[in-house]
Amino acid sequence: MLIVIYLLYVKLSETIHINRLLGGRHLFLLNKAEKSPTFCINYSDKQLMNKSLLIVAHIPSPNTMMLRNAVVKGAENPDIEGIDLVVRTPFEAGPEDVLTADGIILGTTENLGYMSGALKDFFDRIYYPCLEVKQGLPYGLYIRAGHDGTGTRRAVETIVTGLRWKPVQEEALICRGEYRDEFKGECEELGMLIAAGLEAGIF
Protein backbone atom coordinates (compact mmCIF):
# COMPACT_ATOMS: atom_id res chain seq x y z
CA MET A 1 0.00 0.00 0.00
CA LEU A 2 2.74 2.43 0.98
CA ILE A 3 4.61 1.59 -2.19
CA VAL A 4 1.55 2.35 -4.30
CA ILE A 5 1.02 5.69 -2.54
CA TYR A 6 4.68 6.44 -3.00
CA LEU A 7 4.69 5.63 -6.72
CA LEU A 8 1.57 7.73 -7.26
CA TYR A 9 3.14 10.61 -5.47
CA VAL A 10 6.35 10.36 -7.45
CA LYS A 11 4.38 10.48 -10.67
CA LEU A 12 2.30 13.44 -9.59
CA SER A 13 5.04 15.61 -8.19
CA GLU A 14 7.84 14.91 -10.68
CA THR A 15 10.05 14.19 -7.78
CA ILE A 16 13.73 14.18 -8.56
CA HIS A 17 15.39 12.98 -5.39
CA ILE A 18 14.74 10.39 -2.79
CA ASN A 19 16.74 10.69 0.38
CA ARG A 20 16.91 7.88 2.83
CA LEU A 21 17.46 9.39 6.23
CA LEU A 22 17.13 8.36 9.82
CA GLY A 23 18.53 4.89 9.32
CA GLY A 24 16.61 4.27 6.13
CA ARG A 25 13.21 4.61 7.73
CA HIS A 26 11.95 7.75 6.00
CA LEU A 27 11.62 8.72 2.40
CA PHE A 28 11.97 12.46 1.74
CA LEU A 29 10.84 13.45 -1.70
CA LEU A 30 12.38 16.59 -3.10
CA ASN A 31 10.25 18.53 -5.47
CA LYS A 32 12.01 19.58 -8.68
CA ALA A 33 11.09 23.25 -8.39
CA GLU A 34 11.36 23.81 -4.69
CA LYS A 35 14.36 21.55 -4.00
CA SER A 36 12.97 21.05 -0.54
CA PRO A 37 11.31 18.11 1.11
CA THR A 38 7.64 18.07 0.26
CA PHE A 39 6.57 14.70 1.47
CA CYS A 40 7.75 12.09 3.87
CA ILE A 41 6.78 8.47 4.27
CA ASN A 42 7.74 6.55 7.34
CA TYR A 43 8.28 2.91 6.49
CA SER A 44 10.29 0.09 7.90
CA ASP A 45 12.97 -1.70 5.90
CA LYS A 46 11.36 -4.91 7.02
CA GLN A 47 8.14 -4.06 5.22
CA LEU A 48 10.02 -3.53 1.99
CA MET A 49 12.31 -6.50 2.22
CA ASN A 50 10.24 -9.24 3.82
CA LYS A 51 9.74 -12.44 1.88
CA SER A 52 6.44 -14.26 1.95
CA LEU A 53 6.45 -17.97 2.72
CA LEU A 54 3.21 -19.84 2.07
CA ILE A 55 2.50 -23.13 3.81
CA VAL A 56 -0.31 -25.19 2.31
CA ALA A 57 -0.85 -28.31 4.35
CA HIS A 58 -3.64 -30.83 4.62
CA ILE A 59 -4.25 -31.61 8.29
CA PRO A 60 -6.98 -34.22 8.65
CA SER A 61 -5.67 -35.78 11.88
CA PRO A 62 -3.93 -34.79 15.12
CA ASN A 63 -0.63 -36.21 13.81
CA THR A 64 -0.76 -34.25 10.57
CA MET A 65 -1.66 -31.14 12.56
CA MET A 66 1.48 -31.66 14.67
CA LEU A 67 3.60 -32.01 11.54
CA ARG A 68 2.20 -28.82 10.06
CA ASN A 69 2.80 -27.01 13.34
CA ALA A 70 6.39 -28.27 13.33
CA VAL A 71 6.92 -26.80 9.86
CA VAL A 72 5.54 -23.49 11.11
CA LYS A 73 7.80 -23.62 14.15
CA GLY A 74 10.84 -24.14 11.93
CA ALA A 75 9.87 -21.26 9.65
CA GLU A 76 9.37 -19.05 12.71
CA ASN A 77 12.81 -19.82 14.12
CA PRO A 78 13.83 -16.67 16.02
CA ASP A 79 17.16 -16.55 14.19
CA ILE A 80 15.36 -16.03 10.89
CA GLU A 81 14.09 -12.55 10.17
CA GLY A 82 12.11 -10.95 7.42
CA ILE A 83 9.73 -13.80 6.65
CA ASP A 84 5.99 -13.23 6.48
CA LEU A 85 4.37 -16.57 7.03
CA VAL A 86 0.99 -17.43 5.51
CA VAL A 87 -0.46 -20.73 6.70
CA ARG A 88 -3.44 -22.27 4.92
CA THR A 89 -5.13 -25.58 4.39
CA PRO A 90 -5.51 -26.50 0.72
CA PHE A 91 -9.22 -25.74 1.07
CA GLU A 92 -8.44 -22.18 2.16
CA ALA A 93 -5.56 -21.43 -0.19
CA GLY A 94 -6.08 -19.97 -3.63
CA PRO A 95 -4.25 -18.36 -6.53
CA GLU A 96 -3.94 -15.03 -4.70
CA ASP A 97 -1.88 -16.72 -1.97
CA VAL A 98 0.47 -18.32 -4.48
CA LEU A 99 0.82 -15.18 -6.57
CA THR A 100 2.13 -13.24 -3.57
CA ALA A 101 4.39 -16.01 -2.26
CA ASP A 102 8.19 -16.04 -2.59
CA GLY A 103 8.31 -19.66 -1.50
CA ILE A 104 5.86 -22.44 -0.72
CA ILE A 105 5.79 -25.55 1.44
CA LEU A 106 3.27 -28.23 0.53
CA GLY A 107 2.10 -30.84 2.99
CA THR A 108 -0.21 -33.72 2.22
CA THR A 109 -1.27 -37.15 3.36
CA GLU A 110 -1.09 -40.10 1.01
CA ASN A 111 -4.51 -41.50 0.30
CA LEU A 112 -4.99 -44.47 -2.00
CA GLY A 113 -1.56 -44.04 -3.50
CA TYR A 114 -2.05 -40.37 -4.35
CA MET A 115 -1.97 -36.90 -2.75
CA SER A 116 -5.00 -35.85 -0.73
CA GLY A 117 -7.99 -34.73 -2.77
CA ALA A 118 -7.69 -31.41 -0.96
CA LEU A 119 -4.19 -30.72 -2.29
CA LYS A 120 -5.17 -31.88 -5.77
CA ASP A 121 -8.13 -29.49 -5.70
CA PHE A 122 -5.76 -26.68 -4.67
CA PHE A 123 -3.53 -27.45 -7.68
CA ASP A 124 -6.55 -27.57 -9.98
CA ARG A 125 -7.58 -24.08 -8.85
CA ILE A 126 -4.18 -22.40 -8.90
CA TYR A 127 -2.61 -24.08 -11.95
CA TYR A 128 -3.55 -21.76 -14.80
CA PRO A 129 -3.74 -18.50 -12.82
CA CYS A 130 -0.17 -19.10 -11.59
CA LEU A 131 1.40 -20.98 -14.49
CA GLU A 132 2.98 -18.07 -16.34
CA VAL A 133 3.89 -15.81 -13.44
CA LYS A 134 5.20 -18.14 -10.75
CA GLN A 135 7.74 -20.17 -12.67
CA GLY A 136 10.80 -20.77 -10.52
CA LEU A 137 8.86 -20.56 -7.25
CA PRO A 138 10.95 -22.44 -4.66
CA TYR A 139 8.97 -25.21 -3.02
CA GLY A 140 9.33 -27.85 -0.35
CA LEU A 141 7.18 -30.96 0.09
CA TYR A 142 6.42 -33.25 2.96
CA ILE A 143 4.14 -36.26 2.88
CA ARG A 144 2.56 -38.17 5.71
CA ALA A 145 2.04 -41.73 4.54
CA GLY A 146 0.90 -44.70 6.57
CA HIS A 147 3.04 -47.12 4.60
CA ASP A 148 4.34 -45.74 1.29
CA GLY A 149 4.22 -42.15 0.00
CA THR A 150 6.00 -42.65 -3.32
CA GLY A 151 2.84 -42.37 -5.43
CA THR A 152 2.10 -39.03 -3.82
CA ARG A 153 5.63 -37.78 -4.32
CA ARG A 154 5.50 -38.69 -8.01
CA ALA A 155 2.09 -37.10 -8.44
CA VAL A 156 3.03 -33.81 -6.77
CA GLU A 157 6.33 -33.69 -8.64
CA THR A 158 4.54 -34.14 -11.94
CA ILE A 159 2.33 -31.14 -11.25
CA VAL A 160 5.05 -28.84 -9.89
CA THR A 161 7.27 -29.77 -12.82
CA GLY A 162 4.45 -28.58 -15.07
CA LEU A 163 4.29 -25.36 -13.07
CA ARG A 164 8.10 -25.10 -13.32
CA TRP A 165 8.50 -24.62 -9.58
CA LYS A 166 11.98 -25.18 -8.18
CA PRO A 167 12.57 -27.87 -5.53
CA VAL A 168 14.67 -26.84 -2.56
CA GLN A 169 15.07 -30.40 -1.26
CA GLU A 170 17.03 -33.12 -3.01
CA GLU A 171 14.07 -35.36 -2.33
CA ALA A 172 10.68 -34.71 -0.78
CA LEU A 173 10.32 -35.62 2.90
CA ILE A 174 8.15 -38.68 3.46
CA CYS A 175 7.06 -39.30 7.06
CA ARG A 176 6.33 -42.97 6.50
CA GLY A 177 4.93 -45.76 8.66
CA GLU A 178 3.69 -45.68 12.23
CA TYR A 179 3.70 -42.14 13.55
CA ARG A 180 6.99 -41.28 15.26
CA ASP A 181 7.93 -38.17 17.17
CA GLU A 182 11.07 -37.69 15.06
CA PHE A 183 8.83 -36.72 12.12
CA LYS A 184 8.27 -33.41 13.89
CA GLY A 185 11.99 -32.64 13.90
CA GLU A 186 12.23 -33.39 10.19
CA CYS A 187 9.28 -31.13 9.41
CA GLU A 188 10.69 -28.37 11.59
CA GLU A 189 13.98 -28.61 9.68
CA LEU A 190 12.11 -28.28 6.39
CA GLY A 191 10.36 -25.12 7.57
CA MET A 192 13.63 -23.69 8.80
CA LEU A 193 15.52 -24.61 5.62
CA ILE A 194 13.12 -22.81 3.32
CA ALA A 195 12.64 -19.77 5.55
CA ALA A 196 16.40 -19.38 6.05
CA GLY A 197 17.04 -19.83 2.33
CA LEU A 198 14.48 -17.18 1.47
CA GLU A 199 15.91 -14.82 4.06
CA ALA A 200 19.41 -15.31 2.66
CA GLY A 201 18.20 -14.92 -0.91
CA ILE A 202 19.53 -18.34 -1.86
CA PHE A 203 16.37 -19.43 -3.64
Ligand X SMILES: Cc1cc2nc3c(=O)[nH]c(=O)nc-3n(C[C@H](O)[C@H](O)[C@H](O)COP(=O)(O)O)c2cc1C
Binders of ligand X among 1-60, rule CB under 6 A?
none
Looking at the Cβ atoms of 10 and 66, the one nearer to ligand X is 66
CA-CA distance, 162 to 77, in Å (whole number)? 32
Q: Interface mask (CB under 6 A) for ligand X, residues 170-189, using x and -?
A: ---------x----------
H or E element that contains 189: helix 182-200
- Residue 148 binding ligand X, by CB under 6 A: yes
CA triple 180-181-186, angle to 5 deg: 100
Burial class (CB in 10 A: 0-12, 13-18, 19+), 73: middle
Considering only 39-47, 86-94, 105-113, 125-133, which stretch makes contact with ligand X by CB under 6 A?
105-113
Binders of ligand X among 62-101, rule CB under 6 A?
63-64
Considering only 16-24, 28-36, 38-46, 61-69, which stretch makes contact with ligand X by CB under 6 A?
61-69
Considering only 14-22, 88-96, 144-152, 157-165, which stretch makes contact with ligand X by CB under 6 A?
144-152
CA triple 15-18-22, angle to 5 deg: 145
> CB-based contacts of 110: which residues, under 8 Å, 6+ apart?
116, 143, 144, 145, 146, 148, 149, 151, 152
- Residue 118 binding ligand X, by CB under 6 A: no
Considering only 7-15, 121-129, 130-138, 140-148, which stretch makes contact with ligand X by CB under 6 A?
140-148
In angstroms, what CA-CA distances link 134 with 121, 128, 166, 188?
A: 18, 10, 10, 25
Among 68, 120, 134, 144, binds ligand X (CB under 6 A): 144
**Contact (CB, 8 A) for 103 and 51:** yes
In one letter, which amino acid is 80? I
CB of 127 to ligand X, least distance (A): 23
CB of 88 to ligand X, least distance (A): 19
CB of 4 to ligand X, least distance (A): 43
The footprint of ligand X (CB under 6 A) covers: 61, 63-64, 109-113, 144-149, 179
